[in-house]
Amino acid sequence: MADDLEVLENGGNESGRSVYHEAISDAATEDNAVGGKSKKQKVPLPEDKVPVRIFFLLKHIIDNKDDQLFLIGTLIQNVFHSMNADDGDESTSYFHLRFNDLIADNDSGYSKVRNHESLEDSSKTTFQMTAPLEVDVDFDYFPFKIYTATLLVELSTRTEKTKRIRPELWVAKNDVRNNVTLQSPYLKDGIKKKNKEERTELYKDKMDKMKDYDFVSPCPKVEYIYDQKNECCHKCRLTFYLVEGGISKWVGILVPMLLVFVLDVVNVFYNDTENGDTLSTSATLALTAVFLLPNILSKAYRPKIIATNMVYILLVFIGLALSSVTHEMQNSKIAAYTGVALFGFSFIIPIVSFFKFSEYKQSILEEEKSFMKNDLKHEKFKHDVH
């Protein structure tokens, strides 16, 4: 087995530190006669902790007609313990999987056993993985949004006769690619001529089979979750960061709003009752802004008490409302000028959001280093059970 394989230590979601912990038994019940009455008393069930290694080879992410995302890849599970198959049933010699709390087996279609090898004291099972991803908004500063597509993988505890067997993940701490890696998009010719940016784009093209999202980075954030109650680690989480529609998404919002602002300025400063109907023009501009609302508040939006989306919308519509106050209504254009100023001030929000977005995006790209650094020199882990 590889020199850098150990098990996870402590409750932090880090793949780098590890130690092997002793299990704490769960409780079982049995009937005992006490004073002539039957009373249930908790009795510890014998329990073993078994070292297990799981390896992910990630191929791409796709979406279906319902816009649900799925991660396609290969999962290899090495069990360093003798769990003999009952009556030739291979499913009793490995730990069953759950993806985002859903059972992942042949019936669900989320994982299918492709190959199984058993030796005297270990086994290796290869799964074809079609795992559903949970999508949520992680960064939301108008008009920029970053989404997370998350896969939580859990190894289920199993019972072998009168003994409970709990999986304990072993983690490669020196190189994360011995735990999770991306399928190489390279062709044999011209690999060494490509720089890091070109190789990253090749990975994006290989991984991205989605219609509505683009990758911030094709490399996932990898976390191993420590169960403090049972003092073991049997869960890991992969997180991908996505943007919706790339740059075209926010350009399609800001450019029309900028046009509405320019027309509002013309309407207030250069229009009068002799040259046109100011009120009807303001109503047309407001109606245009209303039609842009579905793009500002997307279906994935979760309301907050104070959100940049809502502040921007309020500034725009208050500004348009004040801009519609004509000189004849108030004998002054102070209200109209104030409305134009509020509308113009609203564009500070996307400017500030751009800098926040760039900073957050850069922190995500730091995750690439463990995957992309010297990736051409990486000697792949040989998935042997010994």
- What is residue 152's predicted lDDT score, i.e. its pLDDT? 95
- Which helix (DSSP H) or strand (DSSP E) does residue 235 occupy? strand 232-244
- What is residue 346's predicted lDDT score, i.e. its pLDDT? 87
pTM of this structure: 0.75
How many Å apart are CA 100 and CA 109, to the nearest integer?
Answer: 14
User: Binning pLDDT at 50, 70 and 90, where does residue 93 land?
Assistant: confident
How many Å apart are CA 50 and CA 301, to the nearest integer?
Answer: 42
Please spell the DSSP secondary structure of 151-210, one letter per residue. EEEEEPPEEETTEEEEEEEEEESS-GGGTEEEPP---STTSTT--HHHHHHHHHHHHEE-
| One-letter amino acid for residue 370 of the chain | S
Which has more confidence, 236 or 197? 236
How many Å apart are CA 19 and CA 352, to the nearest integer?
Answer: 44
Q: Is 55 helix (H, G, I), strand (E, B) or coil?
A: strand
Q: Are strands 180-182 and 47-63 parallel, antiparallel or unpaired?
A: parallel
- Which helix (DSSP H) or strand (DSSP E) does residue 48 occupy? strand 47-63
User: Binning pLDDT at 50, 70 and 90, where does residue 97 land?
Assistant: very high
Question: Which residue reads 């989605």 in tokens?
Answer: 210
| One-letter amino acid for residue 67 of the chain | D
373 token code pair:
């650094």
pLDDT tens for residues 251-271?
Answer: 777 888 888 888 778 777 776
For 101, residues 6+ apart whose C-beta sits below 8 A from its C-beta are 152, 154
Please state the three-class secondary structure of 94-156 as a single string: CCCEEECCEEECCCCCCEEEEEEEECCCCEEEEEEEEEECEEEEEEEECCEEEEEEEEEEEEC
Phi, psi torsion values for 106, nearest 5 degrees: -65, -35
- What is residue 11's predicted lDDT score, i.e. its pLDDT? 40
